[in-house]
Amino acid sequence: MGQGENPVVRVTLWNEFVHERKDDNVRAIYPGGMHEVWRGALESYLGPRVRVVNAHLEQQEHGLTESVLGATDVLVWWGHAAHDQVNDLVVDRVVDRVLRGMGLVALHSAHFSKVFRRLMGTSCRLRWRNGDDQELVWTVNPSHPIARGVRTPITIPRQEMYGEFFDIPQPDELVFVSSFSGGEVFRSGCCFRRGHGKIFYFSPGDQEYPVYHIDDVKRVFANAVDWATPTLVLDDPYAPEYCEQDWFLAK
């Protein structure tokens, strides 16, 4: 296959989907769930080559069975109220699949999900405030594909504050840095490669503010899914590999 052809990208949108069903104010912003807005973003910016399925906490195995993950190129993760309810076997399965090549886009409070923390190896702690700050999202890596076509700064009129020190490993590529009206800063767009998988963490997007309705936020999201798409997912989980002398000559 030549690189000029763009194969189908299979995206699974994992939305915890608790707030939208319990809180009237959240449902007013996202009547169909946040995942419906993400789906629209992918359709607008990536077009017909994307195929999207949804998965939620309350489903059997949280909707992330072996067969679903086996048919997922990029997994999007949003969780907040129920990180602890995610089954550890599912976490193992997702982490294993990322190391074998599946892309992961972790949104907002997913910084504290089991999946993200396992892949980072750190506490992923941060400072926070629910105080109606304005957030400005600045591009610090203008040639990065995730910054493609994105205005700088993105202005988010009202948003939860996330502030440093954000306890993550130094990102392989830092794409966005945010400021908040209160004066805090945050590394809000971070790329990590883990195993054969690509991971993008993007902090804008709280359930109580209509952040995902902002055009440039949608564009970042779609760019991130595009960037995280693997070219190859390994069949087998990792194992140490014994290699005889000159093993590579036989390949």
Q: How far is the CB of 236 from its own copies (least distance, A)?
A: 11
Name the one residue in this structure whose structure tokens are 């949804």.
Answer: 54
- Closest CB 197 distance from its own copies, rounded Å: 6
Tell the smallest beta-carbon distance from residue 28 to its own copies (Å).
25
Q: How far is the CB of 27 from its own copies (least distance, A)?
A: 26
Q: How many Å apart are CA 97 and CA 17, to the nearest integer?
A: 23
Closest CA relative to residue 105, chosen from 78, 139, 66: 78
Rank residues 31 and 237 by Cβ distance to its own copies and give the closer one. Answer: 237
Task: Give the distance, in angstroms, between the CA of residue 171 and the centroid of all CA atoms in the same chain.
Answer: 14
Per-residue burial over 14-51, b if 16 or more Cβ lie within 10 Å, else e, is bbbbbbbeeeeebeebbeebbbebbbbbbeebbeeebe
Residue number, 25 or 242, with CB nearest to its own copies: 242
Q: Which is nearer to its own copies, 163 or 204 (CB)?
A: 163
Cα 29 to the chain's mean position, in Å?
21
Give Cα separations from 220 to 41, 126, 172, 216, 226 (angstroms). Answer: 9, 22, 18, 6, 10
For the bound state, the minimum distance from the C-beta of residue 55 to its own copies, rounded and expressed in Å, comes to: 22
Closer by beta carbon to its own copies, 67 or else 170:
170
CA–CA gap between residue 35 and residue 54 (Å, rounded)? 7
Q: Which is nearer to its own copies, 19 or 198 (CB)?
A: 198
